Structure 1
């Protein structure tokens, strides 16, 4: 399976973000020949501002933005993993939720982030993305999904620091684990690659890390970039740098 990772520099403008996503999915499908395209955490809107995050929260069964993503899946006949969005649940709570789409645009998987980020920096305590525990509700279910004969595991960003999550995914049969992220530059340089390679070796799975890059909220915060796909051996197969773009590899071919 040809898997592509899209690295984004998402901002708080939903329409502009959808245009960026559309352009890079076009590249992933047409130039790279991807069969599955993975996007980062907070792909549709990345902001620390609570009012903006609430305004752009998505009701998963009634969202024009998700309909646009589904259209891209159908247009290119590719599976898409929408890294995550702020979901407005039917229970009235807000969640950080991944949504996967099949090649026909139908939603085939949802996962609500189970380990919410809590910054140790007091100056970031009011930021949605840096103090999720004060804004979002916690998911309660480890989730996998089947796609073309392979089992994919769901995780999001801060889950990476919780090895037991990945042990559960492996026990559920996961072969490829997706980890959409908005890893900060502060910790990304130190921990991002180390965590992905460790989880790959521990589980014997491919790790697909789609990360945000660049600054957002008028330069207040910065994401690390360096999206990568890591083999079960811990080898970094392919890696972005710190600009938006697309990387890809044929995972089945490498496994043979």
Structure 2
């Protein structure tokens, strides 16, 4: 652990998984050639399809998923740690799917998986109503993962609006918080930068947030602006490209300890009660 180069891959994922695999592979290879040792892709790397019926026809059990196997082989070939922001898998004993991050070692093994806990059930004012819980089963556990680079706390997209998740991850050892996302254009313009910087400031952690960007085949439009913030809440890398992109950032985990030493809020909580008058 110490210093390393991280990359965010930004995509405009479409409907066909094989085409998306080819795009993601090209961008991951680009990041590796630029020197990245840790590379993260956005939520729904494998497919963006608002039609749940069509989407279910293209998913597999995790152990049989061809995209995951391809990404495991890619991580091995490139000798990088690879976070696939999320893929959709069949969920045990549920008609719904799992929206799952997959963290892959440079040897191709699965270090950890994380199922998105908070479902995007909202009306944001862009002409669409989102009911993610009708398609995806929410996860029930937070996940910390050890890598050669740092201890990661995993999350996905809408989780970003629930600060207690990130605080508990940091209090239990996370140095870097990952938040692969597919923020809508409306919510991204309003809240993306503020929320990511707030999570970094509150926890004294790096935040790595690869994002979907652009107009997708299924009609949705996502905000993009993949970015990396440091533990002080400063943006150290950001994509200003509308569509596909790769950004890189130098990470120094010593900064996490330094910032938490300056403002030790994680260890200074005081118990309190709420009095309603």
Query: How high is the TM-score relative to the length of structure 1?
Result: 0.93
Kindly name which structure, 1 or 2, has the bigger radius of gyration based on alpha carbons.
Answer: 2
Structure 2 residue corresponding to 1:124, chosen from 128, 144, 155: 128
Aligned counterpart, 1:225? 224
* 1:80-229 correspondence to structure 2 within 5 Å: 80-92=82-94, 93-120=96-123, 124-125=128-129, 130-148=130-148, 150-218=150-218, 220-229=219-228
Task: Tell me which stretches of 4 or more aligned residues in structure 1 moved more than 3 Å.
Answer: 253-256
Q: State the distance in 2 between where 1:254 and 1:72 align.
A: 29
Shift of 1:91: 2.7
Query: How high is the TM-score relative to the length of structure 2?
Result: 0.86
Deviations 1:94-148 (A, max 9, x none): 11110110001111110011101012159533xxxx3211221110000010001
Counting matched residue pairs gives 250
Q: State the distance in 2 between where 1:169 and 1:58 align.
A: 29
Aligned counterpart, 1:62? 64
Decide whether the 8 Å contact of 1:200 with 1:233 is kept in 2: yes
Moved more, 116-125 or 204-213: 116-125
Shift of 1:55: 1.7
SS in 1 for 2:64: coil
Aligned counterpart, 2:31? 28
Decide whether the 8 Å contact of 2:43 with 2:181 is kept in 1: yes
Shift of 1:217: 3.0
RMSD of aligned residue pairs (Cα, Å) = 1.6
SS in 2 for 1:42: coil
